[in-house]
Amino acid sequence: MFETLSDRLNSVFKKFSGQKTLNEENVQEGLREVRLALLEADVNFKVVKQFTDRVRERCLGQEVLKGVNPAQQVIKIVHDELVDLLGGGTTGLDLRGKQPYVIMMVGLQGSGKTTSSAKLANYLRKQKMKPYLVPADVYRPAAIDQLHTLAKQLGIPAFASTTQMNPVDIATAAYADAREQQCNVVILDTAGRLHVDEQLMNELVAMKSALNPQEILFVADAMTGQDAVTVAEAFNAKLGLTGAVLTKMDGDARGGAALSIKTVTGTSVKFVGMGEKISDLEVFHPDRIAGRILGMGDVLTLVEKAQAEVTQEEAEAMAQKMQKAEFDFDDFRTQMRRMRKLGSLEGILKLIPGMGKLRDKLGDLHVPDKEMNRIESIINSMTDQERRNPDLINPSRKKRIAGGCGMQVQDVDNLIKSFAQMRMMMKQMMGGGKKGKKGKMPA
Ligand code: GDP
């Protein structure tokens, strides 16, 4: 996401780096390009105007610092204003008052409501809450089954809705059941339509009056850009939204929705969907996103992701093994599984400062699932001893391993060779053996 915008803004900043000071002329010129970059990213034109006016004012205002180069000054100002545009501080869920709390998910069909409901339930459970899922989309065929399947996978209770039931009745009965089951947060997956329509809105308003939800989250497909914002306005007028979830931010959404929604509707984005998996939901942090847009990377999100999967002790133990070239196939398999949980290598690289540009040079970094499966099945076919001590693997053992996983000896050979190379590289990268150069485990 935001790649094009990010590239465009960076080329504007580059031009400023050749300048001695900020003046009316170069600011005007630079902002013309910022304006175009934002419009191209499908940001609402009123938002763009407001944004560039503010940046101009600040660039030419009193606060310009002597001794700091113009490019840095402009980046700092654009960064601050982007944070503001994205909603300022992080605004998590506001769950207060009577329990169980109620979160109502609303939005058009296909925006990702059902998926996001399950993702949110999973997220809340990690926050030590007891979620309860309510399929209340009685119109879209299979929506109820879809949520039931996800709930079952997660082991989270869900209401046994049927398409014959009325959504308001579902909501009230489900609430009673959630309380009975001692759940403390009810997530309502409501029906969507292809377009905003009166009947749907009335139904949602009736559900709102029945349950008085703490949160009404508008789920929007980020790929639809400004359309998402227009629809949000319509929902907001009827329901009074408390926040938004922007889905499909892993795709090539240009960023228009994320950058316009707060200014146009007054609603803050609270979460973003970063993929189809249940774990692909991130809390929306305007400052980190602004950093990502400006190519400063988002190390904090990376660290959080990594922390969810690995403890400090584990990371240190792994770093030691790498330094001493003791990294074995057991460790390799563990890392590979972890990597899969974190998402693709490419996704991780995007979060590292400066890596955005490198990514283009490196080309396709995605290791396909199929290849990962092949590697894992070779490792699984080794004995514990072989995994811990790869040097033991002689030709006859290779043959046995290949037979065990239904592959050629050459496949096993290739894996062992790449593994040996990787181990060597790790040792070098981690400064193995050299004093005072302590490496850190890559996430
Ligand atoms: P609903 O009609 O609003 O309930 O939408 P669904 O939850 O069924 O989602 C529609 C489609 O979008 C499904 O194929 C989902 O897998 C997909 N989807 C939802 N959220 C995301 C996301 O964050 N990223 C990606 N890539 N796909 C998503």
Tens of pLDDT, residue by residue over 155-201, are: 999 999 999 999 999 999 999 999 999 999 999 999 887 777 888 99
As given in the structure block, the two tokens for residue 109 are 């069909």
Extract the residue ranges of the chain whose pLDDT is less than 70. 1, 62-69, 295-319, 322-323, 338-369, 425-443
For residue 47, count CB atoms less than 10 angstroms from its CB and return exposed for 0-12, middle for 13-18, buried for 19 or more. buried
Q: Kindly state the percentage of the chain with pLDDT values over 90.
A: 43
Give the Cα separation of 390 and 401 in Å (integer).
12
Protein fold of 302-429? 434 Repressor (Amino-terminal Domain) (1.10.260)
Cβ(119) – ligand 1 distance below 6 Å: no
How high is the pLDDT of residue 442? 37
* Atom of ligand 1 lying closest to residue 273 CA: 23
| Residue 80 alpha carbon to ligand 1 centre in Å | 32
Q: Strands 281-283 and 269-273: what pairing?
A: antiparallel
Cβ(113) – ligand 1 distance below 6 Å: yes
pTM: 0.70
Cβ(26) – ligand 1 distance below 6 Å: no
| Residue 432 alpha carbon to ligand 1 centre in Å | 45
CB atoms within 10 A of CB 24: 10
Do the annotations mark residue 399 as ligand-binding? no
Q: What is 3-85's CATH number? A: 1.20.120.140
Do the annotations mark residue 251 as ligand-binding? no
Give the Cα separation of 215 and 233 in Å (integer).
16
Looking at the predicted complex, does its ipTM rise above 0.95? Answer: yes
How high is the pLDDT of residue 358? 46
Give the Cα separation of 194 and 224 in Å (integer).
13
Q: What's the count of helices (H) and strands (E) in the chain, helices before strands?
A: 20, 7
Looking at the chain, the domain(s) classified CATH 1.20.120.140 span 3-85
| Residue 365 alpha carbon to ligand 1 centre in Å | 24
Please name the residues in contact with 376: beta carbons below 8 A apart, sequence gap of 6 or more.
333, 336, 337
**169 contacts 144 by C-beta, under 8 angstroms:** no
Give the Cα separation of 438 and 323 in Å (integer).
9
| Residue 218 alpha carbon to ligand 1 centre in Å | 14
CATH architecture for segment(s) 101-296:
3-Layer(aba) Sandwich (3.40)
Give the Cα separation of 415 and 434 in Å (integer).
28
How high is the pLDDT of residue 439? 36
How high is the pLDDT of residue 438? 37
Cβ(273) – ligand 1 distance below 6 Å: yes
How high is the pLDDT of residue 300? 54
How high is the pLDDT of residue 368? 60
